[in-house]
A = this chain, B = another copy of it.
Amino acid sequence: MSFHAARISKLLAWMEETDIDVSVVTSPANVRYLSGFYSNPHERFMGVIIPRKGTPFLIVPALDREKAEAEGTLPVHTHSDTDNAVDILVGVLDSDAAAISQVAIEKSQMSVARLEELQSRFSNAKYANVEDRLTAMRMRKDGEELSLMRQAAQLADEAVAFAVTQMVPGKMEYELVQAIESFVKRQGADRMAFETMVLAGEKSALPHGEPGTREIRKGDFVLVDLGIVWKGYCSDITRTFAVGDISEKQREIYEAVRRANAAAIQAVKPGVGAGVIDRAARDVIEDAGFGEFFIHRVGHGLGIDIHEPPSMHGNNEQPLVPGMMFTIEPGVYIPGMGGVRIEDDVLVTETGVEVLTSYPKELRILPVHVLNVE
């Protein structure tokens, strides 16, 4: 049985238990998880439809037919821009829509408008949430997923190593972004997992800053945050470098973040609550006196989506289990001055933790006088 078929069969077992007649799975990530086919259909309808009795199928916009048939492991039905996709869905199901008593949807993914459309066809149905089940399945990565994520992480390491070779005074943030993305593409990645972030100097204090024409200068922190999608699975890494001399205060910040990253990794093992990992990092940063500048959770789950459960925030007491994969990325951001973030991807193992990203984390001071050598 292919791993997609195995996943669908797990979902069907749950549908039997909970009396779901049909699951309508429409998020690109879950469509990928269940069918192997990935697309971002924008506002168009795309879904994996799983009837409890009958054949699961993909429904995609007509212009994705070729790709869906090539990549997907399910029969493909299409709709054009003048069709009503939900009508086509109901037609393929070939059962009495009014007799459907329970439909499972992704409540945090499906829009209120789409739900109202389904309600107008499946007019006697209740609507259950299929997300918890899919999330639980996706949270424990299977062997194939682990293999792909190790490769994605390794390429992230290589991309950081490459970025360092390009990081010379005078280079602009966006030029580094382009060099990195070009490198990654040459290695055969699907795409970047998000817009690569290179932020220099005071801009490194903006956790969501946009790389622009700011040039790298002596005394800067340069923060590099990048993610790679490798055959559908994400990696996510951040390293922060210093250019030439930096101040004693900057060193203190760097070391606090580095120790926070290490403390959080040290805390990972099965049975521990997710919030414990956040607090392990936060305690170190608070003790160093920078608590007010660590303004986000310590990390997020990782997989097909760049952000997926578990959320690694302080109030999440969900226990870690083997197969979970998430980021550990403490940061300290001093407005107007600069910021440091150090991010790794970690896997919960039977006995503890495996860190997938391995680029060194000791403070690295880049020389200002050496010319760029590729």
Which residues of A approach B to under 8 Å, CB–CB? 39, 42-43, 62-64, 66-67, 80-82, 105, 107-116, 127, 129, 174-175, 178, 181-182, 185, 190-191, 195, 206-210, 295-297, 307, 311, 313-315, 335
Given contacts A66-B206, A108-B113, A175-B182, list 18 more A-B pairs with CB under 8 A.
A39-B208, A43-B108, A62-B296, A64-B208, A66-B335, A67-B206, A67-B209, A80-B295, A81-B296, A81-B311, A82-B297, A82-B315, A105-B112, A107-B112, A109-B111, A110-B111, A178-B181, A191-B195
On whether the beta carbons of B115 and A295 are closer than 8 Å, the reply is: no
CA–CA, A296 and B63, complex, Å: 7
On whether the beta carbons of A63 and B295 are closer than 8 Å, the reply is: yes
Name the B residues within 8 Å of A195 (CB-CB).
191
Name the B residues within 8 Å of A314 (CB-CB).
82
Q: Who on chain B is nearest to A205 by CB?
A: B66
Q: Who on chain B is nearest to A108 by CB?
A: B113
CA–CA, A82 and B316, complex, Å: 9
How often does this chain occur in the complex, in copies?
Answer: 2
CA–CA, A178 and B129, complex, Å: 41
Name the B residues within 8 Å of A64 (CB-CB).
208
Name the B residues within 8 Å of A127 (CB-CB).
112
Q: A313 touches which one: B63, B82, B112 (CB < 8 A)?
A: B82
CA–CA, A39 and B129, complex, Å: 28
On whether the beta carbons of B111 and A108 are closer than 8 Å, the reply is: yes
Name the B residues within 8 Å of A178 (CB-CB).
178, 181-182, 185
On whether the beta carbons of B112 and A207 are closer than 8 Å, the reply is: no
Q: Who on chain B is nearest to A60 by CB?
A: B208
On whether the beta carbons of B113 and A81 are closer than 8 Å, the reply is: no
Q: Who on chain B is nearest to A42 by CB?
A: B307
| Contact A313 to B81, CB < 8 A, known contacts A43-B307, A66-B335, A296-B63 | yes
